[in-house]
């Protein structure tokens, strides 16, 4: 983000489970709406126009019945929060009903319906992780305008000003629009035992790179590995893969974002990327990253943190739920991002990703699409957000969520830790989006070169430059071939 999406007010985010699938079977349910009229529209005195009588305050008609077909992803968040949101919405707008199809594989069903070409049978609202192909086929409705609307519990305030910075980023719009409405995101970074840190007086929120290195040295002096990670799966990315943007900002490289998004110029061998890898190699050389990481999977590395054989582990915020059966009763997960500059006031770029969202099918009646947008807006009320936090385990997307202190009481320790970190630090939620897609096989080959060598670099056993150059050659060949193919289309 060239315009910094930073926090100066209470902010927090998103998600508890990145890949968790729901356990229930696919289900088709009809969400019937109450037929009770919410109140008389007859004026006490004077006359009202028919428009005032027949329309809600949002301008949509009261007397036209609409059914919204929803393709609901059954995931780790469950559906209790969603059913609650539907209940609230249909009580307020009894002319709207919902036809809900819920499945952990809803994306497959969406794809099948899209291929069939029957727009009437397609969902109005749905989850899909392949939304860009639908945008390219002109099948999705932009949701940009929703961010200019005001939730019912914040009249006069645009959603764009209430939502956590980074979840609606005009600079990163695809084809000049937002197409995906965010529901929950995951956060990546360093995870640790807060009680262990408190007992040793260790810094739980380093503001600069030097402070983070000092923390690693303090931990190492106690005979504990400062960092361990899943070398088999390159989980280090959850803590370090956004650091190139911090280095670029420190270098005042204003062209970096555009070059990254469009694969312009060197990528693996850019000065920013090389600097990040040099620092990681140096950390490994100094013994801050455990050599045990090389052959470990994610649960093995996380177990070492539970056993206090290592102090920190890169992962995502699903870690609390993932390790709940193994964690000691007094273990309390905490969170930090790793700063990579020495500017204590500079933004810290945090790894995150979209884990739950909704899209709107374009070839639907205009009235359906308008009601779909109103429903998505309603999901951002703090009442629904609270249900999603407490029942679904996500983190709220509203900046003002914790303005009511009692809401914090019902958050899990890791949720509170992330919220506190984001409140006390200037952060950027970095998605690392690209504006073009590479399909040439050398692109995948270049990524494999990096994954295959990453563990040896992070443990100080291999210099990064040689394999970064090998990966860059493959990447540039993929870029050249893909761009030539795109120009021929």
CATH of the domain at 179: 3.40.190.10
Distance of alpha carbon 12 from alpha carbon 321, whole angstroms: 18
Do residues 85 and 223 share a domain?
A: no
Is 286 among the domain residues? yes
Say whether pLDDT at 348 is over 60: yes
For 22-37, how does the pLDDT look when each residue is reduced to its tens digit (9 = 90+)? 333 333 343 333 333 3
Is 484 among the domain residues? no
Q: Output the pTM of the full model.
A: 0.72
For 99-132, how does the pLDDT look when each residue is reduced to its tens digit (9 = 90+)? 999 999 999 999 999 999 999 999 999 999 888 8
Is 68 among the domain residues? yes
Is 451 among the domain residues? no
Is 469 among the domain residues? no
Say whether pLDDT at 449 is over 60: yes
Question: What pLDDT score was predicted for residue 460?
Answer: 95
Do residues 308 and 268 share a domain?
A: yes
Do residues 181 and 194 share a domain?
A: no
Do residues 339 and 366 share a domain?
A: no
Question: What pLDDT score was predicted for residue 322?
Answer: 83
For 248-285, how does the pLDDT look when each residue is reduced to its tens digit (9 = 90+)? 999 999 999 999 999 999 999 999 999 999 999 999 99
Is 8 among the domain residues? no
The total number of structural domains in the chain stands at 2
Is 32 among the domain residues? yes
Say whether pLDDT at 379 is over 80: yes
Question: What pLDDT score was predicted for residue 167?
Answer: 75
Do residues 289 and 247 share a domain?
A: yes
**Enclosing domain of residue 110:** 27-42+52-185+355-430
Do residues 206 and 340 share a domain?
A: yes
430, 455, 483 - which closes a domain:
430
295, 328, 352 - which closes a domain:
352
Question: What pLDDT score was predicted for residue 3?
Answer: 37
Do residues 169 and 191 share a domain?
A: no
Do residues 312 and 231 share a domain?
A: yes
Do residues 112 and 204 share a domain?
A: no
Say whether pLDDT at 39 is over 80: no
For 172-209, how does the pLDDT look when each residue is reduced to its tens digit (9 = 90+)? 678 889 999 999 888 999 999 999 999 999 999 999 99
Is 121 among the domain residues? yes
Do residues 235 and 360 share a domain?
A: no
Say whether pLDDT at 19 is over 70: no
Question: What pLDDT score was predicted for residue 332?
Answer: 95
Say whether pLDDT at 459 is over 60: yes
Question: What pLDDT score was predicted for residue 486?
Answer: 63
Do residues 166 and 192 share a domain?
A: no
Say whether pLDDT at 47 is over 80: no
Say whether pLDDT at 468 is over 50: yes
């Amino acid at each position: 983000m060239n315009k910094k999406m930073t926090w100066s007010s209470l902010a927090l985010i998103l998600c508890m489970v990145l890949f968790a699938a729901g356990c229930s079977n696919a289900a088709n349910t009809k969400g019937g709406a109450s037929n009770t009229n919410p109140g008389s529209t007859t004026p006490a005195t004077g006359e009202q126009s028919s428009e005032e009588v027949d329309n809600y305050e949002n301008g949509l008609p009261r007397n036209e019945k609409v059914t919204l077909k929803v393709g609901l992803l059954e995931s780790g968040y469950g559906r209790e929060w969603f059913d609650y949101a539907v209940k609230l919405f249909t009580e307020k707008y009894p002319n709207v009903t919902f036809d809900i199809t819920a499945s952990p594989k809803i994306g497959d069903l969406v794809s099948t319906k899209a291929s069939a070409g029957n727009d009437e049978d397609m969902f109005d609202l749905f989850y899909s992780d392949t939304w860009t192909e639908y945008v390219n086929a002109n099948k999705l409705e932009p949701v940009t305008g929703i961010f200019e609307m005001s939730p019912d519990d914040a009249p006069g305030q645009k959603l764009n000003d209430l939502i956590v910075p980074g979840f609606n980023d005009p600079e990163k719009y695809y084809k000049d629009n937002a197409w995906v409405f965010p529901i929950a995101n995951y956060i990546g970074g360093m995870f640790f035992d807060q009680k262990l840190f408190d007992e040793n007086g260790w810094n739980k929120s380093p503001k600069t790179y030097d402070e983070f290195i000092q923390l690693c040295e303090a931990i190492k002096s106690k005979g504990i590995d400062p960092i361990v990670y899943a070398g088999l799966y390159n989980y280090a990315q959850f803590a370090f893969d956004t650091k190139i943007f911090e280095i670029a900002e420190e270098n005042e490289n204003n062209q970096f974002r555009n070059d990254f998004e469009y694969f312009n110029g060197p990528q693996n061998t850019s000065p920013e990327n090389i600097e990040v890898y040099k620092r990681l190699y140096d950390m490994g050389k100094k013994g801050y990253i455990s050599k045990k990481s090389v052959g470990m999977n994610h649960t093995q590395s996380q177990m070492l943190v539970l056993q206090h054989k290592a102090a920190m582990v890169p992962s995502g915020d699903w870690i609390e739920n993932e390790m709940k059966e193994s964690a000691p009763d007094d273990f309390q997960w905490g969170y930090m991002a790793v700063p990579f500059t020495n500017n204590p006031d500079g933004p810290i770029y945090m790894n995150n990703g979209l884990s739950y969202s909704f899209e709107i099918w374009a070839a639907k009646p205009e009235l359906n699409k308008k009601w779909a947008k109103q429903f998505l807006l309603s999901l951002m009320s703090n009442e629904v957000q609270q249900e999603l936090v407490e029942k679904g385990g996500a983190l709220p997307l509203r900046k003002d969520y914790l303005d009511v202190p009692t809401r914090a009481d019902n958050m899990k320790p890791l949720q509170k830790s992330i919220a506190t970190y984001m409140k006390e630090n200037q952060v950027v939620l970095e998605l690392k989006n690209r504006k073009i897609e590479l399909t040439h096989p050398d692109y995948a080959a270049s990524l494999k070169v990096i994954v295959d060598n990453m563990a040896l670099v992070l443990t100080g056993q291999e210099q990064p430059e040689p394999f970064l150059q090998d990966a860059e050659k493959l990447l540039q060949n993929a870029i050249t071939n893909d761009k030539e193919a795109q120009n021929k289309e």
